[in-house]
Amino acid sequence: MVIGMGPAGATAAYELSRAGLAVLGLEKQLHPRYKVCGGGLSLRIDRILESDFKSVVEHTIYGVQFTYRGEEPFLIESSQPIAYMVMRDRFDHLLVEKARRAGTEVHEGEQALAFRQLSDAIEVTTDRGRYRAKVLIGADGANSVVAQRLFPARRLRRMPTLESEIGIGMMPPYPGEGKVLIDLGATAKGYAWIFPKHQRLSIGVAEFRGKTTSPKQIFDRFVREEKGLASFTVPHPAGHPLPLFSPRAVGLMEQPPFALVCGRALLVGDAGHLVDPLFGEGIYYAVRSGQIAAASVLGTFHDRRRSLMDYELAVRREIYPEFRIASRIARIVYSFPKLCHRLMHRYQEVINLYYDVLRGRHTYHSFFHEAKGIVKSSFRELLREALPFR
Ligand SMILES: Cc1cc2nc3c(=O)[nH]c(=O)nc-3n(C[C@H](O)[C@H](O)[C@H](O)COP(=O)(O)OP(=O)(O)OC[C@H]3O[C@@H](n4cnc5c(N)ncnc54)[C@H](O)[C@@H]3O)c2cc1C
């Protein structure tokens, strides 16, 4: 059984169904449903999703316009794409329909309420009935009830975010065709964004570290000060928590109780806090964790010696090391945002290298290593210029 049919749940359900398992997917809303989200998909999604999702891509992104509190703008463009923009109602609907076509029985408008681990199954009570499943995949997002009920030891932070959307009709998108805007100075330790969609702009703010006093004030100030939005009336934003990965919290969960597997239940996507702590990218990791979870479940059905812990171990191998480095970078960026904004301007090759992370050509690990090398050798050059006789 899969609880929640966002990208994580729909992907897990699709993979399990096409391998021949009987899968029931519960979704409390009706697809296509609105989801508060920037809808930015890094290009490396190409490596893990079949290409039919391109039918719902609204824009392809080739560059980022960086600003600091609306000032000091600079654009770093690339000749090759770095990301896609999607509206989550259409994107998620497409994934759910794929799962359905592969054989998943999808119950929409049905909310899971309670869970009980039994010796040979897991029992799920919903607002419509009661079910038993061999395995339960909790894909119910940032406010996951599966995590709350079956993983009570999890005490992980979720950051507040706000987002709104404006219709722009046939006007050219802002900040320009194929570009997104990121403002590192809009919040104390986070960023504000403008992501273009077909005839729309998604505008949001998120704090990534520390405490936020008033996200609404931050959002209003960003909208007020951002010159490109001057001619628009921006509707009241909607809030949604962002369950960022935290290396410290997850480090504590390497012994039982584990972070992602408990008895017959697994957590994927936002329910498992699988969100990149640098820029809040979660869709890629929702899809990927759904795939890894499905592979682990299938493993246990085919080979009795395998266990669901394979899923947790695979995430620790593939995703956590990347998130740990992203978290180190985030600590630097959000502690010294103004300095970092200026350094990004100066070391544009580092941003180009980061674009390769988004494309899947670099990992955070190889990026960090190379970026440090670029900055160090440039410092050495600066020193040589400043001290020519040494
Ligand atoms: C403001 C904001 C902007 C973001 N921008 C980006 C971005 O640009 N790019 C990016 O990659 N990520 C972004 N993210 C993160 C991204 O939205 C999430 O990481 C992603 O949606 C996770 O997918 P999921 O399938 O785990 O959860 P969700 O997409 O949240 O899906 C969970 C599903 O479970 C259902 N559900 C919940 N409870 C129950 C229940 N009890 N019973 C049945 N169904 C239930 C929900 O209705 C929902 O459909 C953003 C997040 C926020 C808040």
Distance between CA atoms of residues 339 and 349, nearest Å: 17
Render pLDDT for 318-358 as a digit per residue (tens, 0 to 9): 999 999 999 999 999 999 999 999 999 999 999 999 999 99
Closest CA to 84 of 365, 358, 320: 358
| Ligand 1 and 39: CB distance under 6 A | yes
Closest residue by CA, ligand 1 atom 50: 37
What mean pLDDT do residues 376-388 have?
A: 71
Render pLDDT for 70-125 as a digit per residue (tens, 0 to 9): 999 999 999 999 999 999 999 999 999 999 999 999 999 999 999 999 999 999 99
What mean pLDDT do residues 350-369 have?
A: 96
Q: CA gyration radius for the chain?
A: 22
Render pLDDT for 29-76 as a digit per residue (tens, 0 to 9): 999 999 999 999 999 999 999 999 999 999 999 999 999 999 999 999
CA of 105 to the centre of ligand 1 (A): 21
Residue 390 has pLDDT above 60, yes or no: no
Distance between CA atoms of residues 192 and 225, nearest Å: 12
| Ligand 1 and 283: CB distance under 6 A | yes
| Ligand 1 and 378: CB distance under 6 A | no
Other residues' Cβ atoms within 10 Å of the Cβ of residue 356: 19
CB 307 within 8 A of CB 300: yes
Q: What is the DSSP string of 30-93?
A: -SS-------EEEGGGGGTS-GGGGGGEEEEE-EEEEEETTEEEEEEE-SS--EEEE-HHHHHH
Bigger pLDDT: 154 or 296?
A: 296
CA of 270 to the centre of ligand 1 (A): 6
CA torsion angle 48 54 55 58 (round to 10)? 130
Q: What is the DSSP string of 263-277?
A: TTEEE-GGGGT-B-T
Ramachandran area for residue 314 (φ above 0: left; ψ -120 to 50: alpha; else beta): alpha
Element (H, E) at 286: helix 283-302
Q: What confidence tier does 377 reach under pLDDT thresholds 50, 70, 90?
A: confident
CB 280 within 8 A of CB 265: no
Q: Which residues, in sequence order, are bridge partners of residue 108?
A: 27
Other residues' Cβ atoms within 10 Å of the Cβ of residue 379: 10
Q: What confidence tier does 389 reach under pLDDT thresholds 50, 70, 90?
A: low
CA of 88 to the centre of ligand 1 (A): 9
Render pLDDT for 178-225 as a digit per residue (tens, 0 to 9): 999 999 999 989 999 999 999 999 999 999 987 767 889 999 999 999
Residue 383 has pLDDT above 80, yes or no: no
Percent residues over pLDDT 70 in the chain: 96
**CA–CA–CA angle 341, 345, 349 (5° rounding):** 120
